[in-house]
Structure 1
Amino acid sequence: MAGIDGMPKGIVAVGASAGGVEALGEMAAGLPADLPNALLVALHLPANAPSVLARIIDRSGPLPAMPAKDGAPLEAGVIYVAVPNHHLLVADHQVLLSEGPTENGHRPAINALFRSVALHFGPRSIGVLLSGVLDDGVLGMAAIRSRGGITIAQHPDEAVFAAMPTNAIQAGVVDHRVAAADVGNLLAQLADRELEEQDMDKHMQPDDSMELENRIAMGRRFSTSFDSEALGPHSGYTCPDCNGSLIMVSEKNYRCRVGHAWTADALLKARDDEIEGALWVALRSLQEKAKLSRKLASNVSPGMLSQRYTELANEAEHAMSVLSRRLSEAASVAGERGAD
């Protein structure tokens, strides 16, 4: 049953990315109408686009869903849905929205939500990770488990994009694997579990690193009221967002001086994007060089100068042809890997 005055018995934090709207709809449809927990949902959203996700979830099942509002009290049987360009967090049994630094390039970020719920609710927290790419949510699932909470992943075989739940399973941070439509039944079963006071005390001990990362996520935009260097040593890598030095929080977790967070997989993807961007700039520059060299060659009399411009054009066109072919081959290989 719910607590006094509608206070939730526990908190369910749900994270999803690509393919997540479908999975969230299936999950919402299977939720029991008397669920004694509050639910918070973070889906990767474009920063400047309106979102109708709360409306979709609200229409999908028996529990009311609403866009999260800063300071709203957490109530049992209510689904609070992240809004664009804000992290969805919790504090003092209330919803907290922040414009803290992005994590894996996202705001809202799943890791930020899961970490916040783990810190404030410990064994009374449940993390649910649905369809998505890369590995946002894996560190958050680990945080929930470390504080005595329970973790659930959508079964990869039925996820539209299996990478997020698969990465969590491979990392060993998942307690249950179920279809999205069966999450509600499992939550109902877990809601009946009783927690001993000593279990609460054991799992709610201070965690300086997790608390600092949570404070960073809670901060105002462009805030510098924290020392990220306290999280670990310098990694030798730079942040794709601001080019600042990245601190190694753990083997697969990095933060820069101003707070941007990256997992190893997301950092690799960002580097791929940087390399592809640089190659496209090189391709455009070679094309313009060849075109300008041809024009200069045609504007001078035949001779050594004309020959020099022609040679420059030939070299640029050859390099352009090689680079274009390599880019096409790389794109084909990436497509085949994506299909796998």
Structure 2
Amino acid sequence: MRSLVAALPGTFSTPVLVVLHIGAYCSELPALLNAAGPVPAKHAEDGETILPGHIYVAPPDRHLIVADERLRLIRGPKENCARPAIDPLFRSVAESYGSDAVGVILTGNLNDGTLGMLEIKRRGGVAISQDPNDAAHPEMPRSAAEHVALDYCLPLAEIPDLLIELVDQKCGKELPMPKTSSQRDRQAPEIINSQTFERPLTVTCPDCGGALKNFKVGSIVKFTCHTGHSYTAENMAAAQFEEMEKVMRAAVRFLNERAEFCLQMAEHGDDGKPDASNEWHAASRQALDRAYKLRDLVEQDWLTPEISRQLASAHDGPDQTGFRG
């Protein structure tokens, strides 16, 4: 990245978005890139406007995406065991910029970025990969070359000139802006920010977590997992709800314990380090606030069709048989 940025001129007029799979570890990449070349680099901030001629780096433990003409940082599920991950960025840029998107994959392990690059190509964008023979870790570039119809596969030293050429070709053309959500709504909807859940492939067993299959025995719906646990629909609903409540109350406990831990750390930091103490106090208040919110959510009334059904069935009993047993 330092080599690439060092070869870009200060007049480079396109925003550059960078993801390095650093996990939750501290990142000094913006400072390194600022020292390497004239294009200003910084960690991206949630909600900020994308400006030309700037380098935006995904901060630790946050996916960086483009949505509604702005940069967004989300703590969505990890992809290929990584957060930040390159694929969410590629997908969002492909959807937002279409044929004006340019994706670049550099040295790296495994096949991260390949699926996102496929989306960039599907939308008519430009796909670039470092030559695997030029990469210290060739797996990511090699995967891209094998699975994507790349437009360019070059040694690292040649990629900056290519990027400058591609930008120069668009000189005089208005800077492409991301599509807004209303524009996206008129197309096939795609989830790029991990806020909407996909339907699960199956429902799992409350006892062991195994996949459940359902079938009818007469008029009764039955659920059975491959290890042998079985439930009627009503009992399954009750067991599922009980397990859900148990997990949510465990989360309340963890949040409360985190609040206490942060409070203890704040007390240890009182002597001589007021800033650190204030941060621990703030973290304690945040954890406690979320614990109360989650507790309130657990204790709200939940829709329970299985109970309503049982009550309706019991009510029907006397009308049909004259007694309840």
Amino acid at match of 1:37: T
Q: Which residue of 1 aligns with 2:11?
A: 34
Is residue 130–residue 165 contact of structure 1 (8 Å, CA) maintained in 2?
A: yes
**How large is the Cα RMSD of the aligned pairs?**
2.6
- 1:140 aligns to what? 116
**Which of the pair has the greater relative contact order for Cα pairs under 8 Å at 6+ separation?**
1
Structure 1: which 5+ residue stretches go unaligned?
Answer: 1-23, 220-224, 246-340
Is residue 141–residue 173 contact of structure 1 (8 Å, CA) maintained in 2?
Answer: no
1:43 equivalenced with 2:20 (yes/no): yes
Q: Does 1:215 align with 2:215?
A: no
CA displacement at 1:206 relative to structure 2: 2.7
1:154-303 equivalences under 5 Å are 154-194=130-170, 206-208=187-189, 211-212=190-191, 214-216=192-194, 219=195, 225-229=196-200
Separation (CA, whole Å) in 1 of partners of 2:155 and 2:210: 41
CA contact (8 A) 1:114 1:144 kept: yes
Runs of 4+ in 1 over 6 A off after TM superposition: none
SS of the counterpart of 2:103? strand
Residue 37 of structure 1: SS of its match in structure 2?
coil
Cα distance change, pair 174–51 in 1 and its aligned pair in 2 (3 A)? same
- Paired residue type of 1:193: Q
Q: Secondary structure at the match of 2:82?
A: coil
Q: CA deviation at 1:181?
A: 2.6
Greater CA radius of gyration, 1 or 2?
2
Aligned residues: 197
1:227-284 CA-partner distances (Å, limit 9, x unpaired): 344xxx67xxx9xxxx897xxxxxxxxxxxxxxxxxxxxxxxxxxxxxxxxxxxxxxx
Instruction: Output the CA distance in 1 between the equivalents of 2:83 and 2:18.
Output: 13
Letter of the 1:185 partner, please give it: D
- Structure-2-length-normalised TM-score: 0.56
TM-score of the superposition, structure 1-length normalised? 0.54
- Structure 2, unmatched stretches of 5+, are 212-325
Distance 1:244 1:174, change over 3 A: farther
Q: Distance in 1 between matches of 2:62 and 2:161?
A: 30
Aligned to 1:4: none
Alignment of 1:36-185 (within 5 A): 36-47=13-24, 49-185=25-161
* CA spacing shift, 1:244–1:85, aligned 2, 3 Å: farther
* Counterpart position of 2:297: none
TM-aligned CA deviation for residue 226 of structure 1? 2.2
Return the offset for 1:182.
2.2
Q: Kindly tell me: are residues 107 and 173 of structure 1, through their superposed partners in 2, closer, same or farther at Cα, counting changes over 3 Å?
A: farther
**1:30/1:183 contact within 8 Å kept:** no
Secondary structure of 2:193's aligned partner:
helix
Aligned residue type for 1:206: Q
* Distance in 2 (alpha carbons) for counterparts of 1:88 and 1:244: 34
Secondary structure at the counterpart of residue 192 of structure 1: helix
Percentage identity across paired residues of the two chains: 39
